[in-house]
Amino acid sequence: MLILKSVSLFDGDQLLEGTFDILIEKSKIKAIVPEGNKIDIKGARSIELKGTLACPGFIDIHAHLREPGEEWREDIESGSLAGARGGFTTIVAMPNTSPPLDRPELIRHIARKGREVRGAKVLPSGAISKNREGKELAELFGMAKEGAVLFTEDGSPTSNTELLRNALLYTKDLNLKIMEHPEDPYLSNGGQINEGKISALSGLKGIPRSSELIGVERCIALAEELRSPIHITHVSTKESISAIRSAKERGIPITCDTTPHHLSLEESEIIKSDFNPVYKVKPPLRTLEDIEALWEAISDGIIDAIATDHAPYHPDEKDLPFEEAPFGIASLECAVAVVLNEWHNRKQKISIERILRLFTSGPSRILPERYRELGKLKEGGIANITVLDLEKIKKVNASSWVSKCRLTPWDGITLKGWPILTIVEGEVFQIDI
């Protein structure tokens, strides 16, 4: 048995008044009692957590774990352990692997490994089309039966709009969501960074903002016509937020997420870093105005989740001139701290509850109904718990990461607000108290 003592509690929706003791027995939360009614069980391990905050285990619905086929970059096990170190208890692995996760047997393999790993539990997502070619629908029903929790072509948009429309019709009956990467590949082709002042100064080819907006508007049009829900991932521009806000106000069934890097890094960082490829992501880093629009959308409840888009590469693959390096960065082990640090920098103008929902109940509602309880911390629930110290100040040390990828723009940066304890199904994975 394990007892977490004297901890504040966020239940997935709100902060509760007072402090609590939490009793964990095997993989379940046996009891939650106010601190005055302390739990004392002989032989139980206890951890004093005064001044910290217990939350439902954090959920990342968008991480690239590279298995099968590119395990030198990351694999299910290393990604799972990295997730636990970063405060996540559940991770959704993207299907743009080699081969793509487009068949039931591959989903079965990832689902089995994802259950057996020691760190954060890994859930598979499936590709929408066979071989991610956009020509023929993949076996969506078969993949759903084997455990796929959503379908996406992420890494690129769904190239064929008719196929995307058919997938939305099909998944409506499966009660699973399509997660779409919003991009017009013809507009972004060859682009390196955001099109604007920095692309003009640097001479790097820019990716116009309309590339993302066209992808967002396509999702909205299809969801409105079919009344079939769709999730739009890694939203990065004020125009996209405006379109999503308007669509939600009209009752169109869409949800969206954004990333820690789009909430915290401005495009000028690329020049300041002397074109370090760790700042090369897709969608690209945007302007300060876009960052402000994303935070306003968090404040308004327009954004439903924060997802890492953890995209690991071997160091040699990124050790190239900016133009030649691939898009993507690693962030699982510092993503939560990045967001909390930015929240502190913004003088905590948004309630901490709203931030925490984006890592807990928000993403749980994007997953199938059977995962809804993951976003709650309650008696009788699975003992997936993330404990935060909102005042903890620590420097990011990527060389100590358990992820195979240490290419991250925050290496060496001091951040305020860290996960200090991650408990996955009753097992303690990190103590940094």
C-alpha 148/C-alpha 77 separation (Å) is 18
Catalytic one among 309, 316, 411, 432?
A: 309
pLDDT digits (tens, 9 = 90+) for 385-404: 999 999 999 999 999 999 99
309 is catalytic: yes
User: Mean pLDDT, to the nearest integer, of 166-182?
Assistant: 96
pTM above 0.75, yes or no: yes
Burial code (b: 16+ CB inside 10 Å, e: under 16) for 391-412 equals ebeeebebeebbbbbbbbbbbe
Res. 40 pLDDT band, cuts 50 70 90: confident
- Give whole-number Cα distances, 145 to 96, 105, 123, 126, in Å: 20, 10, 13, 11
| pLDDT for res 35 | 83
Q: Among all chains, which residue has been given the structure tokens 């990461």?
A: 401
Res. 43 pLDDT band, cuts 50 70 90: confident
| pLDDT for res 39 | 79
pLDDT digits (tens, 9 = 90+) for 286-312: 999 999 999 999 999 999 999 999 999
pLDDT > 80? residue 38 = no
Displacement of CA 79 from its chain's centroid (Å): 13
pLDDT digits (tens, 9 = 90+) for 326-379: 999 999 999 999 999 999 999 999 999 999 999 999 999 999 999 999 999 999
Nearest of 137, 181, 153, 141 to residue 96 by alpha carbon: 153
C-alpha 38/C-alpha 47 separation (Å) is 13
What sign for the dihedral angle of Cα 49, 397, 90, 238? positive
